[in-house]
Amino acid sequence: MLRILGSSSASSCAGRTRREFLRVGSLALGGLALSDIGSARASTPRAMLKDRAVVMLFLQGGPSHIEFFDPKMEAAEEFRSVTGEIPTKLPGITFGSSFPQLAARTDRIAVVRSFGSLNTDHQNYLSVAGARNPMNAGMGPIYSRIVGAMNTKTGMPSNAFLPPEAVDPQLKLKSNFETQSMQSLRGAGSLGAAYTPFDPSGGGELRKNLEMLLPRERFDHRKELLGELDGLRRRLDRTHAFEAIDSYQQQAYEVILRGVVQALDLTKEDKATLARYDTTRIFNQDEHQKWGDMRRTTNLLGKQMLLARRLVEAGCGFVTVCDAGWDMHANGNSPKQMALLDPMARQVDHAVAAFLDDLRDRGLSDKVLLVVTGEMGRTPRINKNGGRDHYGELTPLLLAGGGLRMGQVIGKSDRTASKPATERYTPQNLMATVMSTLFDIGELRLVSDLPSSLLRATTEGKPISELV
């Protein structure tokens, strides 16, 4: 438990003011006690671990594969993209017209048009995020189970989850993002609570184990929190308190005082970088949230992606970013004719393009794999309200970086974007691609202290062959 108390409180019995009081018990960065950080799984062989990280942008609700990257403008009107199409840098290849920036960067991305989640509901996000593995865990927790819950060199959690609330904690007052189904996306299943993602918004297991007691207005003002931590660090240095604790405990305090706090502090970024990522002007967030299906929609995706870059740069190996509101039935819970699809897609276009350019400028393109997908696609035939319903045969999938082969569209769908017309790729293929990016699979098979079910799930799949 972490408690940071306000300045108006009285002194404690130990003679410290409550403003100076920081109590650390068990900080749930994966559920480990702080004294265990660093020592946890320190014996895990490192030869199998590549110098790579993964950022998965999960578009919750089911983004339309047609309006994204397979517009089918030659099909009948009831099938073709309602947003039209835009040419890309690849000859003969078009995207939905909401993606002009990604269309201009097709030399740095790969789109899989024959990928399908084979899932048709919102409750089973793990059908994609975990490829229906027997542990019932997402790829992030699986990564943590293999490498340990902490990066022992940097003190960063190895696996993180970034909902919009990671940028704006006040969103909890306006939305119900903490649904049971979202917990499945961040859950670790039978792997155990120690491998749940670090969620800076306070959701999931973190809410149970990390408590910050600050007045609401001061908690929301992140500079106040950073000031409290900086002050504590100076007092610890002045009193030589670190000399009395062992090296693992010292590293634990560094997690709080240096690594995580700094990585999450967007004020450390150059103003030009912040402006590059900014998506708040693309649409009015409050206008979107007038419809039930859109209640978790925000215009904060750019800053979420910037936080993801900061986390992986600081040593986090797997970050899941969640953008919600993609349920496009046009049934009154979302506007008719999918009117909000275009601005939401333009936010994805802007945020992903900014992320890709930022990685390129920092020399990180080959070290970070970006995956963009959702739990399903949408029905090829437009319904009577001008919307599309749940559909699992085809699902949008974009990948970028990670040392994989970019500049291609892989596979194709049939003439109405109803089924794959070439080899079908599934979440099992996606998981195998991700794991082969993060690990030397041959070396991973030799790790003796991992459960056999975990090894089978991570080493026996077939990667998307055109990428590797």
Q: What secondary structure letter does DSSP report for 92? A: T
CATH number of the 47-200+270-459 domain: 3.40.720
Q: Give the E-state strand segments of 339-459 in sequence order.
A: 368-373, 377-378, 390-391, 397-401, 408-410
How do the domains of the chain map onto residue ranges?
A: 47-200+270-459
350-375: pLDDT as tens digits = 999 999 999 999 999 999 999 999 99
Residue-by-residue DSSP string for 133-174 = -TT---HHHHHHHHH-SB-TTT--BSEEEE-GGGT-GGGGGT
pTM above 0.85, yes or no: no
Chain mean pLDDT for the chain: 83
How far is residue 159's CA from residue 197's CA, in Å, rounded to a whole number?
A: 5
Range with lowest mean pLDDT among 124-138, 177-191, 294-308, 338-352: 177-191
Other beta carbons within 10 angstroms of residue 53's beta carbon come to 26
Q: Is 21 exposed, middle or buried (0-12, 13-18, 19+ CB in 10 A)?
A: middle
What is the end-to-end Cα distance of the chain in Å, rounded?
Answer: 43
Q: Tokens for 214?
A: 């600050």
Q: What's residue 361's pLDDT?
A: 98
411-449: pLDDT as tens digits = 999 999 999 999 999 999 999 999 999 999 999 999 988
At residue 36 the predicted structure's pLDDT band, cuts being 50, 70 and 90, is very low
At residue 150 the predicted structure's pLDDT band, cuts being 50, 70 and 90, is confident
Q: What's residue 214's pLDDT?
A: 35
How far is residue 439's CA from residue 442's CA, in Å, rounded to a whole number?
A: 9
| Widest Cα–Cα separation across the chain | 77
Q: How far is CA 61 from the centre of its chain?
A: 15
Q: What's residue 245's pLDDT?
A: 52
Name the residue with tokens 């970028």. Answer: 400
Cβ atoms 179, 324 nearer than 8 A: no
